[in-house]
Chain A
Amino acid sequence: MAERARLAGIGASEGVAVGPVFVHRPGELKPERETIPEGSADAELERFREAVAVVVEQLAETADELRNAGSESEAGIFDAHAEMAEDEDLHEGVEERVRGLQSPEAAILEVGEEYAALFAAMDDEYMAARADDVRDVAHQIAAQLMGRDATGLASLGTPSVVLATSLAPSDTARIPKGMALAFVTAEGSKTSHVSIMARSMGIPAVVGVGAILEGSFDAKSVAVDGGEGFAVVDPDPETVAGFEAKMEVMAEERAALEKYRDIEARTSDGRRIEVAANLGSAKDAEDAISMGAEGVGLFRTEFLFMERDQLPTEDEQYENYAAVTRAFGERPVVIRTLDVGGDKDLPGVDQPVEENPFLGWRGIRMCLDVPELFKPQLRALLRAGAHGNLKIMFPMVADVSEIRAAKKILDECRDELQSEGAEFGTVSVGVMVETPAAAILAEALAPEVDFFSIGTNDLVQYTLAADRGNEKLRHLQSADHPAVLKLIGMTCEAARGAGIWVGVCGEAAGEPVLIPKLIELGVTELSMSAPSIPRAKKVVSEV
């Protein structure tokens, strides 16, 4: 490895760090003993069961910590690992071998490897990936049996930059708090385990730098830039100074943004721009308000419908919508009606298998066809409207007839509530502009509604015909493209003609380079993930 080598990879988690190197080399775990003396099988099996219990307990603890921190999907990884560690057949395989006088550590590594090979050979990408999980679990049990840390990561005592071919969730979870300054891995993408963990731990990560650890790697220190996606091996003092300066700038930036957090966002010439938060559940409302949210520009209702046996009742929905509406008082709360398609299962709704769910039966298309899904949601929204400034937004609109049909059903719900003597509020109605059709037809849609909110993520994907998740199409995944900006301009112009307001509720709303352009085009509300709010308010005030 040449000195001061520059490793280019994918920026998977923002931030910069400089520190000593810790190279993590898994797979070097060798059983201490291959065999055990005759007559000791029972005692060794008892040790094996104890080791499993310890590993399962550690896994459960990690899962709990992640769950308490709100990282449900990462917690699920550890649940699955705990279950593998306790698997009956895995244990039988070990028992058979130990009875044949193989050491338990050799046995578990061998059985784990057998399952890993079975999974790896499966003709299914998801199942093949489970090979790493089994291997990881087997290693943990073997390490526990030998009374040592499988990887050395758990005994990391100096804050270091961790380099590895790849890092399993159990690896990152074992590192003592504060000891990992950054991750650099040879493999991986933005969506691999290590990237997700790094972002939730708030430490920089560069992944996919290529085969750096083949052969010897004796670097002393590494500088990592997780935003730009590169690392410098054994940086010279000049490079270190550059990184330290950037660290300082980032820390200052965070501090400087503090004072923008609670201001009412206005441009330098006095135009009022509302900076709001995108929320996925009512319990996130307080956090968003503390970050300076001036309302909710997009409240996703999908979570209420997912991972359950039956559809949520009208009352349950009402409680949720009322809670978020109340939390924001007079401030606007835009709630989007259900936007689910063939990519997610809905209890009680017969969804056909679709080749292309993002161009399929989803959003308002499905809701209009399934009144038993749509009407309870609209009734709940109208009722919640009595508690604040609630606005209803319809997703996936591609035709004027759709918004007219939706409004007709909304009117029916209002009449029903009226005749039942139920309490409900006045709510305004808007279209989520995310299909190119809605932008092109904005002039026809505008007289039908009170506002537009541009969902830039999908508008970009549909306009540029570029899958949001495809890493190879990164250059076609930004709203900063003339075709997308033109559609946003058309939407704003139509809104101006009809006297209604326009917001943006996609990634673009929080991007400093795009904010001035969006305001220039006529957007007056920007809605984003809550942590981006202070920076967006600063950018707005400088326009």
Chain B
Amino acid sequence: MTQIVVTGLGAVSPFGVGVKAYWDGVRSGTCAIRPVTLIEADGFRCRIAAEVPGPLPGSARRSRGDRMALGAAREALDDAGLGACERREMALIVGAVGGGMLEGEAWYWALKRGGRRLRAPQLSLRSILPWSHAEVIGSRLGLEGPRETIVTACSSGAASLAIAADLVADGVVPAALAGGADTLTRLCFMGFNALRLLDPDPCRPFDRDRRGMSIGEGAAFVVLEDAAHARARGARVYAELAGYGMTTDAFHVTSPHPAGEGMVRAMQAALARARVEPGAVGYANAHGTGTLQNDRIEAGALREVFGDGGLLVSSTKSMIGHTMAAAGSLEAVATVLALVHETVPPTAHLTTPDPEVAFDCVPGAAREVSLECAISNSFGFGGQNVTLLFRCP
């Protein structure tokens, strides 16, 4: 069976541009959730989010989402040291939800509120759909292999890695660029407010006093490569993507299955595909949104799969919020770097652990620990569960 390895990382996060800024922020347990500036938040219970600080890389003629996606994609390709020739045959799989909706909303808001059409609708509308990120990255960076845009709600970023891994494993391509991107949008911010799922304060996953999630934005990409191909060109290998599981609850549009049945199957499928025993997994980067429902059900599912042992569990969302389609890929990058640095990033704002959560959720400060394998969980509306399993090379 083809071994799939990670040879490049790229990130644009609420800590700024670049993987270094992202890892520094995540490792130090810094919270990047602040008052919203990109959109109007008046009248909402929650008025905070984790925005990517300016200035963004790339042309202002592109949408915010395309700029973040392109920035992270470029960093990952450069990091992997892949030249133009190798790039040409690479697959490009992008997880996306909001696309260029932020700019599309501005156009629509102006139309509905003032009855005026914003000038240059080409700029605000051309890149509105999720597929825009892939088209921009593909054409700018010269990727001519299989191209796909995947929408599995909040697990889109993780699903993109799974699908890319399949294309490499099937021998369709020797390498793939995979990841997700999402900006803050009015629709998303208003919708989660309407669902009463947002904490007015920065989210507190796994804390007894949690009151909901925070929204964030960002982009992350990884280069996945056939291990033999990576070895042949002398590439640096961060980790192996040893397995994944992708399942569907088929239960409810917004609520996870109460017993976490689909989550359990996703984690078990990842273990089975990687031929790894649960005991070999030392760290789980949780979906960890900070809603009562998610945290309790995810903790129960983790317990069912990994038992009450020494698994460390932490939530990157406690620092950068829920970055939607980017979440699965940003958290995959954090999981890979946890293996590389043998350091588990902490859960921020965790002061009073929920007694119903049977795990050490690494409150406040990062933990140095030797790790063999780690998983990253991502779950989305529509019962879309993805687990990625990484192993030290």
Tell whether A pairs with B. Answer: no
